[in-house]
A and B are shown apart, each in its own frame.
Chain A
């Protein structure tokens, strides 16, 4: 939950006293609650937890039926081919306009033929680089997602090692 001074700037109040009045109103309405130390905790802020249905003996319940088709976050991140999946850590901001930041983990797949427009991991000067795969006049090249960087035109053939399939960011 935000602090009083954060709420102050969020709602545009001039004093913390005004914030305290607002908070007390919200507590009164049952939207917020205060814990033992006086810190704010959400009460009904995010709505009720949905109940999936009562389980009745003998009858299949809606809850059971709905929960069968689930996948783990692993399966979600690696939809293609488990044995060909690798991860790399992003350094620098050359793909920032594609929403990939420094420190992100990218999930990549080795093996399949890359398509133009894919974000790929290529081998350049003995290191890994991640860029968009582009094609112009029959020649493939690598394009960054950041105006401050120049596209990379390979001298010989372009060595693409893997295709980016997902990004993971942990805060």
Chain B
């Protein structure tokens, strides 16, 4: 085996990954939970995150909670508290930003950071920066993170996954080949089960086998994204970081499940209406517009039925979308069928309205609606989401989405401090102290 290069860090890319992030956010505020199998996702009926204690008992992501209870009767199963998780998530990004402004907020529990060129500014080596970042994350957030330092995103991912939980793995470019030779091809970021099965047929079993093929061979057998992965596995820096808050979306979707399933048309419609309102709130937050959307209903047997509809104008308010849905809702709705979820997917999303004047003054109405929603958004900012909502969403907002076991509200909703209402203090709450 020969190294791909003799250099160590032509670029320095860091990947940070919160260990069992949601479960850790729950444990950090309640010391009683430490050492126990803790699972989040109660409201969904499936596991969304689990502590290492639960993992070691065989609990996996997306496992049904009924199966979890059989496998692990002492599991502590909690409803997701996204409000708390996102506070911790923002803190994770901020701590990494102490060392570099170039941070990609990849997901709620992961981020990439470009440390290149920051050695002189921070008066320390890349290795020291990685160590300090991990130490500050662990000690200030009270949970552990797995951190990987390497020369691009693909190899930084290899590094952060190398030792979990609470690992710190540093892979300079001239050492990449050693790690890759021990890594099955399917474990590389961006290579799924289909591609890895195909690679196996071509005699490629680990990441090093893949990296050692020549470019022409790779380009002949694989599509473009895999050529990029191949180049990164050889130590090149190809995939740039997306810095700053995400403002571009290919699509925006909102789905919500309710239990027990319902055959009540007005209730199911109100659920859909609320999803449309929520999707539009997100559109407006990013100053985006949609002109095409799909809505669907999901039955108790997990069948989907839905319709894709187009609008004459790009909009960011729910009225036009709901008007179009109302006209066609009966084409999708079937009497007597039990529905368990509704959803909306907004497509053809753009920054511009692309507005054209029309004969019937439709555009004027949209313009008026937009100023009404400008006011509604300001009210929501002051008094909390859904302070003003559509009558068609009334039942979804006023009736509980879940009855029975799934109905338990997230912890933070049940623990409000004096003076808080729909809006809460933006500091993580650790509960009561004696």
Q: Which residues of B lie under 8 Å from residue A92 when comparing CB positions?
A: 434
Closest A residue to B88 using CB positions? A83
- Using C-beta atoms within 8 Å of the partner chain, give the interface range for chain B: 20 to 34
Contact of B433 among A82, A83, A89, A111 (CB under 8 A): A89
Chain A CB within 8 A of B359 CB: no
Q: Which residues of B lie under 8 Å from residue A123 when comparing CB positions?
A: 31
Supposing A86-B427, A87-B427, A105-B417 touch, asked if A81 and B140 sit within 8 A by C-beta, the answer is: yes
Contact of A127 among B32, B427, B428 (CB under 8 A): B32
B-facing residues in A124-143 (Cβ within 8 Å) = 126-130
Q: Which residues of B lie under 8 Å from residue A111 when comparing CB positions?
A: 136, 139-140
- Using C-beta atoms within 8 Å of the partner chain, give the interface range for chain A: 20 to 34
A87 to B419: give the CA distance in the assembly, Å. Answer: 14
Contact with B along A66-105 (1 / 0, CB 8 A): 0000000000001001111111111110100000000101
| Total contacts A-B at CB 8 Å | 73
Min CB distance, B18 to chain A, in Å? 14
Supposing A81-B140, A111-B139, A161-B142 touch, asked if A91 and B433 sit within 8 A by C-beta, the answer is: yes
Contact with A along B392-434 (1 / 0, CB 8 A): 0000000000000000000000000111000001011111111
Chain A CB within 8 A of B95 CB: yes
Contact of B140 among A83, A91, A94 (CB under 8 A): A83
Closest A residue to B428 using CB positions? A86
A84 to B142: give the CA distance in the assembly, Å. Answer: 9
Chain B CB within 8 A of A170 CB: yes
Contact of B94 among A83, A87, A103 (CB under 8 A): A83
Contact status B434-A110, CB under 8 Å: no
Closest A residue to B426 using CB positions? A74
A88 to B430: give the CA distance in the assembly, Å. Answer: 5
Contact status A130-B418, CB under 8 Å: no
- Candidate in B94, B417, B428, B434 with the most chain A CB atoms within 10 angstroms: B434
Q: Which residues of A lie under 8 Å from residue B141 when comparing CB positions?
A: 83-84, 110
Chain B CB within 8 A of A106 CB: yes
Contact of A87 among B136, B139, B430 (CB under 8 A): B430
Chain B CB within 8 A of A121 CB: yes
Q: Which residues of B lie under 8 Å from residue A106 when comparing CB positions?
A: 433
Min CB distance, B81 to chain A, in Å? 15
Contact status B418-A103, CB under 8 Å: yes
Contact status A82-B434, CB under 8 Å: no
Supposing A86-B427, A170-B418 touch, asked if A129 and B140 sit within 8 A by C-beta, the answer is: no
A79 to B172: give the CA distance in the assembly, Å. Answer: 38
Contact with A along B122-140 (1 / 0, CB 8 A): 0000000000000010011
Contact status B431-A83, CB under 8 Å: no
Contact status A86-B430, CB under 8 Å: yes
Contact status A91-B434, CB under 8 Å: yes
Contact status B427-A83, CB under 8 Å: no
A-facing residues in B25-65 (Cβ within 8 Å) = 31-32
Contact of A126 among B32, B418, B427 (CB under 8 A): B32
Chain A CB within 8 A of B285 CB: no
- Candidate in A82, A89, A107, A130 with the most chain B CB atoms within 10 angstroms: A89
Chain A CB within 8 A of B282 CB: no
Supposing A83-B94, A83-B95, A127-B31 touch, asked if A94 and B434 sit within 8 A by C-beta, the answer is: yes
Min CB distance, A28 to chain B, in Å? 40
A107 to B425: give the CA distance in the assembly, Å. Answer: 12
Contact status B142-A91, CB under 8 Å: no
Contact status A89-B432, CB under 8 Å: yes
A85 to B88: give the CA distance in the assembly, Å. Answer: 11
Q: Which residues of A lie under 8 Å from residue B221 when comparing CB positions?
A: none
A126 to B434: give the CA distance in the assembly, Å. Answer: 12
Chain A CB within 8 A of B91 CB: yes
Beyond A88-B430, A110-B139, A126-B31, 10 additional contacts (C-beta under 8 Å) are A87-B417, A87-B425, A87-B428, A91-B433, A103-B418, A110-B140, A110-B142, A111-B140, A121-B430, A129-B433
Closest 9 CB pairs of A and B: A84-B140, A126-B32, A128-B433, A88-B433, A111-B139, A83-B91, A111-B140, A123-B31, A91-B432
Please list the residues of chain B having a beta carbon within 8 angstroms of any beta carbon in chain A. 31-32, 91, 94-95, 136, 139-142, 417-419, 425, 427-434
Instruction: List 29 contacting pairs A-B, 8 Å CB cutoff, sorted by A.
Output: A78-B427, A82-B94, A83-B94, A85-B427, A86-B427, A86-B428, A87-B417, A87-B427, A88-B430, A88-B431, A88-B432, A89-B417, A89-B429, A90-B433, A91-B432, A105-B417, A106-B433, A110-B140, A111-B136, A111-B140, A121-B430, A123-B31, A127-B31, A127-B32, A128-B31, A128-B430, A161-B31, A161-B142, A170-B418
